[in-house]
Amino acid sequence: MRTILYILPFLILFSCSHKASEEESTNNNLIEISKQQFEAEQMELGEIQLMTFPSKLYFTGYIKPNTNGWAKVGLPVEGIVQQIKANLGQAVQKNDPLFVIGGNQFIDLQQKYAESNARLSQLKADYNRVNLLYDENIGTEKEYITAKSKYESELAKNNALKMKLENIGLNVNRIAQASLYTSYTITSPIKGYITNMEATIGEYIDQQEEMASIVDTEKLRLQIIAFEKDIMSIKVGQQVEFHSSGKDEVALATISLVGRTVNSESKSIECYATIEPEYLDKFINNQFVEGEITLSSDTVAALPTDAIIQADDLSYALLLENETDSSYLFQKVNIQKGRSTKDFIEVKNKIRSGKIVTKGVYNIVVD
Write out the chain's pLDDT in tens, 367 residues. 343 333 333 333 333 333 333 333 334 568 999 999 999 999 999 999 999 888 899 999 999 999 999 999 999 999 999 999 999 999 999 999 999 999 999 999 999 999 999 999 999 999 898 888 877 777 788 888 999 999 999 999 999 999 999 999 999 999 999 999 999 999 999 999 999 999 999 999 998 899 999 999 999 999 999 998 999 999 999 999 999 987 888 999 999 999 999 988 888 999 999 999 999 999 999 999 999 999 988 899 999 999 999 888 899 999 999 999 999 999 999 999 998 888 999 999 999 889 999 999 988 877 7
pLDDT score of 26: 37
Domains contained in the chain, CATH given = 29-51+300-359 (2.40.420.20), 56-67+215-298 (2.40.30.170), 71-214 (2.40.50.100)
pTM for the predicted model, two decimal places:
0.68
CA distance 58 to 60: 7
Q: Which residues, other chains included, contact 364 with Cβ-Cβ below 8 Å and sequence gap of 6+? A: 31, 33, 309, 318
Alpha-helix runs per DSSP H in the chain: 2-26, 35-40, 104-135, 141-168, 172-176
Whether 86 contacts 339, CB under 8 Å: no
CB-neighbour burial class of residue 96 (10 A; exposed 0-12, middle 13-18, buried 19+): middle
Whether 71 contacts 211, CB under 8 Å: no
